Amino acid sequence: MADEMRFEDRMSDADALMWNIEKDPALRSTITSVIVLDRALPHDVLTQRFERLTRVIPRLRQRVRSNPLSVAPPRWETDPNFDLSFHLWWVRCPGKGTDRELLSIAEPIAMSGFDRARPLWRAVIVEGLKGGHSAIIMKLHHAITDGVGGMKLQLELLDLDQDAPEREMPERPAVHVMGQRERFVDAARHEQRRHLGMIMRTTGSALGGIGGVIRDPAAVVSSSTELAASVGRVLRPVSYPLSPLMTGRSLSSRFNTLTIPLDAMKKSAKKANGKLNDAFVAGVVRGLRIYHDHHGVECDELRMAIPISVRTPELEDTAGNAFVPARIEIPIDIADPIELMTAIRARVQEARLEPANDLVDQLSNILNRLPTSAVTALFGTMVKAVDFTTSNVPGAPVPLYLAGATILRQFPFGPLAGAALNITLLSYQNDLNIGVSSDPEAVPDAELLMDCLRRGFAEILDVA
């Protein structure tokens, strides 16, 4: 799979923006995945697997190199000091090796920042789990890839057959550290290519626009006005969350999990003429309504952040990110599950059709040229007013293995990035594995929240 992926030498403007605003630690973009296996594996076998992974996927041996005197996005360059032992650790689970104790190991790993002088990933192998199981806590920086890309890259570590033979070990990636002069020349060439591309796109748009003005001048003016309005909606600053209950924010997170049947959720979504994501978000929304009701807090709407995929056929094999972060006000006072799923689908569809979604890289390029402190403050006001984030990642519909061990389940945990909650879904066979990351300052009673979410999903499943 990785030999089919394209790994660009530079970050996109959008990825560079994500990288730059991380100077505020509350805006860190870290993806964490917990993979549970049915047995422990020998250390040398896993070391060999991860060594191969870093050779097949060059990004896992690359560090980020920025040039403060250039407006070009940061480069990915192979780390001349790459040391696998820094990224691959072994620990033994304390206590009885329960799922709760496993998540307690994963939480501080996810909360800690990356060493920016090294490649942006870490894998912690946890042994001594209940039932003889083991686990891999895999942590990636979001600048490397998004959820969809991550699933593709993961297939270079895992197997589709329990008896799959060991794959060939490729050569180590070549190391070339640029000198300052070479770095300036490379950045200048990048900017030249980018400006040429912008001119070509602008010329094509202008020629089309002239024809449009001749044919229908009113429509052209209306389209330009709508685009400007769309940009305003996407970048609008909001200074407060809509929940009067989940208002606290910190740098900490607590992990919990929930598993529900995939086929039943699809049936519920079909009852509302919708898709799986409509039922998933509806279950989250009903759970949050129950949670607010339990605390006696009135709340009719919550602000949800959701990644809108812009992964076109041209971007299908790109290893980087291909999504636009959207913020949507979601009604939580609709008791009827079908009516709720219909309303959610309509709101999300509006966000998908925003004209400004096509300008994500251009807008990011403009923002990257502003002082970092100003951009960080802007995004701080945008994302810290988010009540919750949802993300839906399609996983493998078939069993997966690792050197003969069976993957039992895998839970994803997305970054809070200023929100009170991040609830991410990853499908695996006929299970929907849901990872819930909560800020303890916003949700001090995480177990109660989980109980409310279970009740919320039960209401959606009852539709089927």
Q: What is the pLDDT of residues 210-235, one digit of tens each?
A: 444 455 454 444 556 776 776 666 66
pLDDT at 208: 46
Picking from 267, 238, 210, 294, the residue whose alpha carbon sits closest to that of residue 418 is 238
| Planar angle of CA 133, 414, 257, nearest 5 degrees | 45
Picking from 136, 153, 121, the residue whose alpha carbon sits closest to that of residue 45 is 136
pLDDT at 239: 75
In angstroms, the CA 70 to CA 187 distance is 7
Which H or E run includes 450? helix 446-462
pLDDT at 90: 97
Classified as helix, coil or strand, 281 is helix
- 128: Cβ–Cβ under 8 A, 6 or more apart, which residues? 92, 93, 97, 134
Report whether 121 contacts 76 (CB < 8 A). no
Report whether 151 contacts 117 (CB < 8 A). no
Q: Which of 142, 195, 294, 295 does the annotation list as catalytic?
A: 142
pLDDT at 307: 83
Could you write out the DSSP letters of every residue in 61-101?
GEEEE--TT--SPPEEEE-TT--HHHHEEEEE--TT--HHH
137 φ/ψ angles, rounded to the nearest 5 degrees = -95, 110
In angstroms, the CA 189 to CA 208 distance is 29
Report whether 343 contacts 331 (CB < 8 A). yes
pLDDT at 319: 63
pLDDT at 288: 98
Residue 142 a catalytic site member:
yes
Superfamily of segment(s) 2-165: Chloramphenicol acetyltransferase-like domain (3.30.559.10)
For the chain (464 residues), the mean pLDDT of every run of 10, in chain order, is 68 80 82 96 96 94 81 87 96 95 96 92 97 96 79 88 92 85 74 62 46 48 64 68 94 96 96 95 97 96 86 60 79 95 93 74 69 70 85 93 96 93 96 97 97 98 92
Q: Which two tokens stand for residue 323?
A: 């999504």
pLDDT at 164: 92
In angstroms, the CA 31 to CA 241 distance is 23
pLDDT at 224: 63
pLDDT at 342: 96
